[in-house]
Amino acid sequence: MIEVRELNKRYGRTTAVDNLTFSVRPGGVTGFLGPNGAGKSTTMRIVLGLDAADAGEALADGRRYTTIERPMHEVGALLDANAVHPGRSAYDHLLSLALTNGIGRSRVREVLEQVGLADVTRKRAGKFSLGMKQRLGLAGALLGDPAVLLLDEPVNGLDPDGVRWIRELLRSLAAEGRTVLVSSHLMSEMALTSDRLIVIGRGRLIADTSVRELEERFQRGVFVRSPRAVELSDALRAAGAEVAAENDEAVTVHGMGVDSIGDLAAARGIPVYEVIPRSASLEEAYLELTADSVDYRAVR
């Protein structure tokens, strides 16, 4: 579990995190979304004790990171995939992490296997592509077999196979009961990977929701096609729905779900050829949610 409570952080005149409160539960992948500069990395750094909050608190499994005795065993993090010594091999990089944290050598081999780097363990990290560095960073995060994982943009630099691989890995880590928080500014990716979404903008919470709830919230009505559209419209209105005609044979209904529309038509013996719920794509929903929080946007 990760708990962020009334967290505030300023850098000079910039408010990076503004009274932010949310919690991340174990057993699922939680996507942490927001435009550039929204405060995602700052929040993660505070949870990891790398930055101090001005006010509020951020806890991993009920404790402040700096008070955890063997932190790599409790919380694994990938913040910056480039933060590896370029002259060190993947194996040596992980071994030094392991040895300074009381983790056995055999675990280094295990995590290298787990992230698909078993064939390049002796290659220098400086020669790695960004995607390979992401895998190495992930191996470091997994080294202590932690219950909590914080990953900042881990998909960055991965090819489509790598993206699918990391999605499956994150889901399986969560299914083992871990708490997994993953930041991204790509809603499309997070919608496929996450169970829950925390969306922030300008350091503030914009949404704390499931993917399904977000889809429902951006529901754009139900399209209904029937040869007796006028009669159906009257019946729908009488039942409390809002109905707008699309053409002689089709209407868009607001305020009533697909099942109720179908039941109502059936009860009156009105034939219906199509009943299609319309929702904005999650990408559109995300853009709408964060529209006021984007600093730089191309003029359309």
Ligand X SMILES: Nc1ncnc2c1ncn2[C@@H]1O[C@H](COP(=O)(O)OP(=O)(O)OP(=O)(O)O)[C@@H](O)[C@H]1O
Q: Which residues bind ligand X (CB under 6 A)?
A: 11, 14, 16, 34, 36-42, 185
CB 76 within 8 A of CB 141: yes
Residue closer to ligand X (CB basis): 16 or 148: 16
Backbone conformation region of residue 28, classed left if phi is above 0, alpha if psi is from -120 to 50, else beta: beta
Cβ proximity to ligand X, 37 vs 257, nearer residue: 37
Between CA 17 and CA 215 the distance in angstroms is: 27
CA atoms within 13 A on the CB side of 91: 10
Looking at this protein, which amino acid is placed at residue 269? G
Q: How far is the CB of 158 from ligand X (least distance, A)?
A: 17
In this complex, which beta carbon is closest to ligand X, that of residue 14 or of residue 66?
Answer: 14
CA separation for the pair 243, 231 (Å, rounded): 12
Residue (11 or 273) nearer to ligand X, CB: 11
Q: How far is the CB of 210 from ligand X (least distance, A)?
A: 22
* Least distance in angstroms from the C-beta of 194 to ligand X: 16
Q: Which residue's CB is nearer to ligand X, number 21 or number 219?
A: 21
The CB-of-280 to ligand X minimum distance in angstroms stands at 23
Judged by CB, which is closer to ligand X: 226, or 290? Answer: 290
Four-CA torsion 278, 279, 280, 282, nearest 10 degrees: -140
Asked whether 256 and 241 are in contact (CB, 8 A), the reply is yes
Least separation in angstroms between CB 14 and ligand X: 5
Give the 3-state secondary structure of residue 183. strand
115: how many CB neighbours lie within 10 A of its CB? 23
DSSP3 helix / strand / coil % (the chain, rounded to 5): 40, 30, 30
Q: How far is the CB of 84 from ligand X (least distance, A)?
A: 19
